[in-house]
Structure 1
Amino acid sequence: MKTATRRVLFGPLLLLVAALLAVVTVLAPGAHAADGLDEAAAALKKGPVYVDPRAAGEFSSGQADALAKKIKDADKPVFVAVLPRAPEYPPQTVLRDLRTKVGISGVYAIELGNGFNAGADTRVMSHSSVQNLVGAVKRSQYPTVSERLNSFVDSADAQANGHAPTAWDAGSSGFDVGTAIGLGVLIAVGGGGAYAIARRNRRRKEAAERAALEDLRVVVDEDITAFGEELDRLDFSPGEPGADDAMRADYSHALDAYETAKSAMAAAQHPGDVQGVTEALEDGRFSLATLAARRAGEPLPERRLPCFFDPRHGPSVADVQWAPAGGAERTVPVCAADKTRLDEGLEPMARTVRTAAGDRPYWDAGPAYAPWAGGYFGGGLLPGLLVGTMLGNMMMAPHAYGAGFGGPEGGDVSGSDFSADDFGGGFGDGGGFDGGGGFDGGGFGG
């Protein structure tokens, strides 16, 4: 009887001890055999900086800790690896392979021997931004690894989109009994940790949506104001001499679009709601263009997309060849004024928006502007216009913006499910993932 009682009492305890031992085995440093990129990836899942022991002479543990704290304090998905020149780190593929093994969307910087390079998912940072940052670091010819990495991280922290991975909050170099007991309690109660992480991720996403909506509100309010000023400048009266029913219908439609845009923006709760606002403004501007043609006795305008460079310019009049910085040429619709500027070799009057890195063209300002642009150009057409830019690549992702955010943000787990064309930066000499665009000879030059 006593033996049976002991089994009843100690059975659950033994199960809990076994579970704790399993957790310790998995999480304790050095508990599994790994080397090369596997070791680097395992470390970067727990914290932002990894230094291969063979490269410790170039970047000390103190310097690594300070850099990791800087990244964590910024709450950005920036990953840094300091690696030696070794066969397990092939320069042509090391960035893509490290990104694949870590499986988290972000900015990845590698110091490889005496060379530096970086890459990023375009939802986090555009290809051109990464290229420029890598080029700036290389051309600065910093004498130490610490100076190179800190310079890059300072800029990347300011420009990267997204948040630090949740796993970093729990990451540490040690594993003590108290932690084991805490994990055991979580195992015993079941699911508590997972629920807390899910709730924190949801709150982060909601906060990101609120911030994105406020950024969009500034831009959309400017668009609505500009459209109202166009209505005033038109100075049309339904009862004026020569006005007919068609003119009055155009004018009424433009007024309705103006009111619809204002009401929709006031009611917007999510970034995706903005698409309906800019759809109304695009429709209203075409009505104004039609009304202006009727009053002047000119042929009615063809229904075309608005000017690509700034939808406030109104309907486009022609299609021209244009290429974004570092990108391939594509056909875009333009207004008469921008066509003239391009014909004269001048830059078009591009719509810029405010970002953490300063004013940028809307197509290079991050994913928050997808619904704004989608309302003007149509969600199906815009990605083709913007191939190779941050916004275009994001919109071609499987879960592009519609009613709100979609797809993995910076710091979210994506596993190996990412496109090589959607992860790039300062690469050249045939290496990397975007086929070129490197600086100072490209690749891992010194």
Structure 2
Amino acid sequence: MSLWGTGARADDSPSQIAKGLMSSRVYVDSSVASQVPSSDVAEMNAALNKNSKADIRVVVTDGNNSQSGTVAALRAVATRVDKGKVYVAIAADGKHMLALTKKGSYLSPKDANKLVAEVSGEPLKQRVIDFSDRAEKKAADKEKSGMVGAFVLLGVLVLVVAGAIAAFVVVRKRRRTRREREMADLKRGVEEDVTRLGEDIAALDLNVMDPSLDAAAKSEYEQAMNSYDAAKTATERAARPEDMQAVTTALEDGRYHMTACRARLNGEPVPERRAPCFFNPQHGPSVQDVMWAPAGGAPRSVPACAADAQAVLAGGQPDVRMVPYGDGRRPYWDAGPAYAPYAGGYYQSYGGMDLLSGMMIGTMLGSMMGGGWGGHHDMIGGGGGDGGFGGFGGDSGDAGGGWDFGSGDFGGGGDWGGGGDW
């Protein structure tokens, strides 16, 4: 299925589109590639490259997606490319077009709407080129007026710089104090997890020198111990919240092997390697996914251990991992940004950011993960699998902020409006 529409089409993911836009300013969706001559693509690329101040990227689509879906998809692409000031989605027939502008750039949503309307009625190639030329003029005009304003502002800035420096020093000290407190809370919480794993491994009461010991159980035990040791070492060396990701990744591995070892010793089936229990990663691998909603939030699917799954399905409360926070305790997903790497490490092998962003919606960590460029995306980690959004084949989970959209001439649900008025 196409990312931009409905029906039997190619599956161009945001990651695939973003990769294409790294080397070209125009990407043509697979579903309409036969409708757009390569010579037209070359001319559009040349015009866009020439208009470097406008800094525009264009995605040519089949035009059958809803406006909201297209905007969300375009945001996801822009976030991945991480460069450019304007992103345009345009139908292969040139009839439908919208523009997404980077916040603070030369082109406001209102300006973009006006330019979209000005070039309406033109075929694809000409519409893209004319839009680019007009946007370039806008950028040049803003740059010129900005230089004049800069000289005026310079005088004002000189007057306030001393006060700004003083304020900066105060803010930096407060921030450092807050981060030190957050790191202390985080380290206490992580040390609790490490200690809990050590106690659970010790409870196996295994004599590895016993010649009658099952070889597979012994191997699981040794892997659990190795991961436990790695987690202890990483905790001792941790100086920043980001360092805790390595700790919880090792804890997840150790807890799985400890659980597998116990199963082998008891003659039970070895558990499936699944994501840890969302409610408390100390519970080990989950056994099923259940629908759950935080207070005041919408339901979402989360992995749960057997006990927590039963509690949720029965309408009760799961056993939530409460971590140190100031003078009290909170669920780890509502204990501040320092716990983002902590959570990310536990789910690193199961989709990382993409899995967490869906589960954390409506929580403190969830609101932080939904930011624009930068933020905690890099800190948390995670691969290329993306939680579904709009028509984008499940690959736009980090659509995020940082971009403005006013309107366009995309309609809703496949029913197209026109002239930027919808």
TM-score, normalised to structure 2, is: 0.48
* TM-score, scaled relative to structure 1: 0.46
